[in-house]
Each structure stands twice: as structure tokens, then as C-alpha cells.
Amino acid sequence: MDGFNVSERYKVKETLDCKGLYCPMPIVKMKKALKGMAEGEIVKILATDPGSKRDFEAFCRKTGNKLLESSQEDGVFTYIVEKVGP
């Protein structure tokens, strides 16, 4: 981390607490949240599944949504995803 709070850098529309959930639930919850968002809005996801990094990267690559940031601190992975498209 570089000292910036995510909320200072991005205007997060919704935060999803997916800690303790394993594949595919963090992705399922994010997909549901993105459906209710407008293009350009941002969702922040907190997860503890080590495989989630690969899952979020693949999801964004496949769907065209933007993975703006991913980080890990104290066993919690944080993903910042921007909705692209309708």
C-alpha cells in the first residue's frame, strides 16, 4: 500500500464484504452488484480467498470491466472494479 486510502482515490459506490467466502461467491456477489450500477461506478470487494486474485483478473478480462486496483494486507484482498458498459 502506498499510504492512500482507497476512498480518497476512488469514489466507491458499494463495498462488498466477501471475507470468508470462496469461489465462486465473491464473483457472484460482484456480478450482482455491477448489474445495479451505472457505467463508470466503482465497487470495492474485500475477500480472503487467495484464489480470488486470479478470479477477479479473469472476470474483468472476460467482461471488459476494469480492475483498477488489487492489494493484499493482513490476509485480506481488496479489489476495486469499475463497471464498463451497460
Residues identified as active-site? 23
Adjacent-strand bridge partners of 82: 42, 66
Phi/psi of residue 3, each to 5°?
Answer: 95, -10
- Longest distance between any two alpha carbons in the chain, whole Å: 35
